[in-house]
Copies of this chain bind each other. A is one copy, B any other.
Amino acid sequence: MTRIAAKTPSDDVDGDAGALDVGRLQEHVGYALRRAQLAVFQDFIQTMEKVALRPAQYSVLLVMDTHPGLKQTEIAALLGIKRTNFVALVDELEQRGLAERAPSPTDRRSNALYLTKAGKALLARAEKTVTEHEQRLIGLIGVEGKRQLLGLLSKLAELG
């Protein structure tokens, strides 16, 4: 029944929604999380085009740097990636010469994963541009805001 206020005339692209609001959805944590995650990832992905790394690839390189020699399954589990989907991901990193599968000395079934020299170099470049990305976020919410946010998000992540 209630007719809505106005519709902006410049309604060209799909992304714009004019003066309309999403109503009670605004109070839902899940909805706010999704919108923020979309915006932040979009900026992150754009940032990482410079080094041609997708978010998952970047996270894998970083973990390989932090924990050299882990098995595929261990890294996959650590990042919440199914080990079946992890295969192609490692394939690509290996084909690009960024990482390598080495035979595990203790278990001939498993691959120990290591960064190559090129992988370490690219990761260093990647982390530098990621810092710029994080600085943009801090520009929006402040250093204290980021600290608060990380605390709140880690508590929510305990739900899983």
A96 interface residue per 8 A CB criterion: no
Contact status B159-A79, CB under 8 Å: no
Q: Which residue of B lies closest to A130 (CB)?
A: B28
A59 to chain B: closest residue by CB: B25
Asked if residues B155 and A140 are in contact (CB atoms below 8 Å), the reply is yes
Interface of A is mostly: helix
Interface string of A119-151 (1 = CB under 8 A from B): 000000001001001101100110001101110
Contacts of A41 in B (CB 8 A): 30, 33-34
B149 in contact with A32 (CB, 8 Å): yes
Q: How far is the CA of A15 from the CA of B82 in the complex (A)?
A: 8
Cβ–Cβ < 8 Å partners of A27 in chain B: 134, 150
Q: Is the CB of B141 within 8 A of A63?
A: no
Roughly how many angstroms separate A116 CA and B122 CA in the complex, as a whole number? 55
Q: How far is the CA of A49 from the CA of B51 in the complex (A)?
A: 41
Q: Are A23 and B55 in contact (CB under 8 A)?
A: no
Return A91 CB to nearest CB of chain B, in Å.
19
Residues of B within 8 Å of A62, CB to CB, are 22-25
* Chain B CB within 8 A of A20 CB: yes
Check if A87 is an interface residue, CB within 8 A of chain B: no
A1-23 vs B: 1/0 string, CB under 8 Å? 11110010001001111101111
Q: Are B152 and A145 interface neighbours, CB within 8 A?
A: yes
Least distance between A63 CB and chain B CB atoms (Å):
6
- On whether A153 and B32 interact (CB within 8 A), knowing A3-B69, A25-B63, A140-B159, the answer reads yes
